[in-house]
Amino acid sequence: MTPTPGVFLEVMAVTAGLGLVLALAVVTVARIALPRIDGWCGRHEFPLIAALALSEDAALPPESKRRARDLFFAKLDARQRRRWHLRRRLEVTAPSGRRYVISPYKPFNIRSRDAVFCIAVDGAIPVYDKLLAQKLLLESDEQRFLARANVRTFSGTWKALVAAARDPEEQTIFG
């Protein structure tokens, strides 16, 4: 008995649907579990995520990455450190009172309520050093951050702030 084309198509559709559901489940579990595992590994000096991660600093010496991570955590307060270990996010409050959330994922890894920002730190340096540089820039000189960052805004509120932060010479470069 040969299957009809309709039955064959139904079986293929169900198989493809189950494959998509399985892929979605794997991605969801990874997004939930890996930051928690990474946080645990960071607290317990366990290099599991370092072995699994394909990050931009994978070619750097482990000692420099460890020192960068230690310095990064030394500059965080207890609340920031706890949030980092649980969610791999860092909330920074600028002197203006605006809040930004920094994550290790590129590009546009800095977010606010209605905009995303991208400011790169050039060079082959550990990711934790880049995150710390972004954090310190936001905390110490938000105007310079706004002048240098590439901005994608979801409302018109940031356009005036960014334009006010940039000099006329920088307007030609970034505008």
**Tens-binned pLDDT, residue by residue, of the chain (175 aa):** 566 767 777 877 778 787 777 777 776 766 666 555 545 444 444 444 444 444 667 788 999 999 999 999 999 999 999 999 898 999 999 999 999 999 987 788 999 988 999 988 777 889 999 999 999 999 999 999 999 889 988 887 788 888 888 865 554 444 4
Compute how many other C-beta atoms are within 10 angstroms of the C-beta atom of residue 93: 12
Compute and round to an integer the Cα radius of gyration of the chain.
22
**Whole-structure pTM value:** 0.64
Dihedral angle, C-alpha 83, 87, 90, 91, nearest 10 °: -70
Which two three-digit tokens encode residue 24? 């979605």
Residue with tokens 């969801």: 28
CA atoms within 13 A on the CB side of 49: 20
Q: Where are the domains of the chain?
A: 1-53, 59-174
Buried b (16+ CB within 10 A) or exposed e, 23-60: eeeeeeeeeeebbeebbebbeeeeeebbeeeebebeeb
